[in-house]
Amino acid sequence: TKHVTTSAPGKTILFGEHAVVYGKPAIAAAVDRRVYVKIEKREDNRTHVNVEELRVSGFLNLERGLIEFDNGEYEKKNILEYVLKSLIKTNTKDGLEVTINIDIPIGAGLGSSAAVTVATILSSSIYNNINLTRDEIAKQAHQVELEVQGAASPIDTTLSTHGGVIYLSKDAEEIITLDINTEIPIIIGYTSKRGNTGKLVETVKLKVEKYPQIMNPILNSMESITNHAREALVNGDQQKIGELMNINHGLLDSLGVNTEELSKMVYFARKTGALGSKITGAGGGGSIIAYCPGRVEEVISCINKFENAFKINISVEGVRLES
């Protein structure tokens, strides 16, 4: 029987989160943890999706755009919305079994929903003999995210599609792959407390509206940090990469997206020898990254005493056909 399996990587933002919402650039990296999406024919003409690691499954009605859940925790259920919209966008007709495996720590802010969306679009387009370029996949996936979430920057879908380390200019109009060593010594620390991205973006917006003369220069500084970081990353200037992360973290704190848990991880990472550490992503819970040349194991075991930490490697490859 006909079947297609594809995979797409998750991502982490190195510099520029939040500022990117105001048209500033950002730098993000695809990470070597992936989502796998297998599509195969079902004999009964119904469409069923199983997201194994989330324990969410259900039947989709592609013609009418409806989901009938078998099971799943309320807050994890919306993953099926991304799958539904991705299948509809790529003209899929009912009669499929879709099996999704998420080999990405859930809730660590690594963009697992974007990876599911991107991989589903590639699987489904191959299944239907539609040829999409990477740019088209990224664009369709971003539209799906907009439809499901209401608002979303193109960062997650761009990285899951293209892979590598990418400098995104305003609204991802221009994406530049940075040529840097994939063995970059970065770790992620994450708390079980999750941040609500939509709410955090709104909190920042209210602050920018209330104190434009204070906040706009901060957003401009974030832009300068990202531009300096681009150079430092390409040149492998370790000291500078670390310092820029620390400055960026302070500015993210000033936007009001820091928390006690994130602060604790950021400062313990530095105390254990990280050259730099900062919030990554929306904040309010979620994750930090720490840049730890020569100190990776020490920083991981320190953070693991009170939260969760793991090393990431950069995934050069974006979305790809597996079999």
Sole residue written with tokens 């907009």: 146
Written as one letter, the residue type at 103 is: D
In angstroms, the Cα distances linking 228 to 25, 28, 288 are 11, 14, 20
Query: Residue 87 or residue 152: which is nearer to ligand MEV going by CB?
Result: 152
* Only segment of 12-20, 39-47, 81-89, 229-237 that touches ligand MEV (CB under 6 A): 12-20
Q: Do the annotations mark residue 111 as ligand-binding?
A: yes
Q: Do the annotations mark residue 107 as ligand-binding?
A: yes
* Only segment of 14-22, 34-42, 67-75, 263-271 that touches ligand MEV (CB under 6 A): 14-22
Residue 197 binding ligand MEV, by CB under 6 A = yes
Q: Is 156 a catalytic residue?
A: yes
Closest CA to 312 of 180, 188, 153: 188
Residue 97 binding ligand MEV, by CB under 6 A = no
Residue 243 binding ligand MEV, by CB under 6 A = no
Closest CA to 177 of 33, 34, 27: 27
Cβ at position 287, least distance to ligand MEV in Å: 10
Query: Residue 132 or residue 219: which is nearer to ligand MEV going by CB?
Result: 219
| 283's tokens | 């904040």
Residue 155 binding ligand MEV, by CB under 6 A = yes
User: Which secondary structure element, helix H or strand E, spans residue 206, and what is its range?
Assistant: helix 197-210
**Which residue in 156, 171, 179, 253 is the catalytic one?**
156
SS (H, E, C) 63-121: CCCEEEEEECCHHHCCHHHHHHHHHHHCCCCCCEEEEEEECCCCCCCCCHHHHHHHHHH
Q: Do the annotations mark residue 105 as ligand-binding?
A: yes
Residue 241 binding ligand MEV, by CB under 6 A = no
**Residues 54 and 254 sit within 8 Å (Cβ to Cβ):** no
Q: Which residues pair with 60 in a beta bridge?
A: 47, 67
Sole residue written with tokens 């997201």: 51
Q: Which of 92, 153, 203, 277 binds ligand MEV (CB under 6 A)?
A: 153
Within residues 251-290, the interface with ligand MEV by CB under 6 A covers 281-282
Q: Site size for ligand MEV, by CB under 6 A?
A: 12
Residues with a catalytic annotation lie at: 156
Binding residues for ligand MEV (CB under 6 A): 13, 17-18, 20-21, 152-153, 155, 197, 201, 281-282
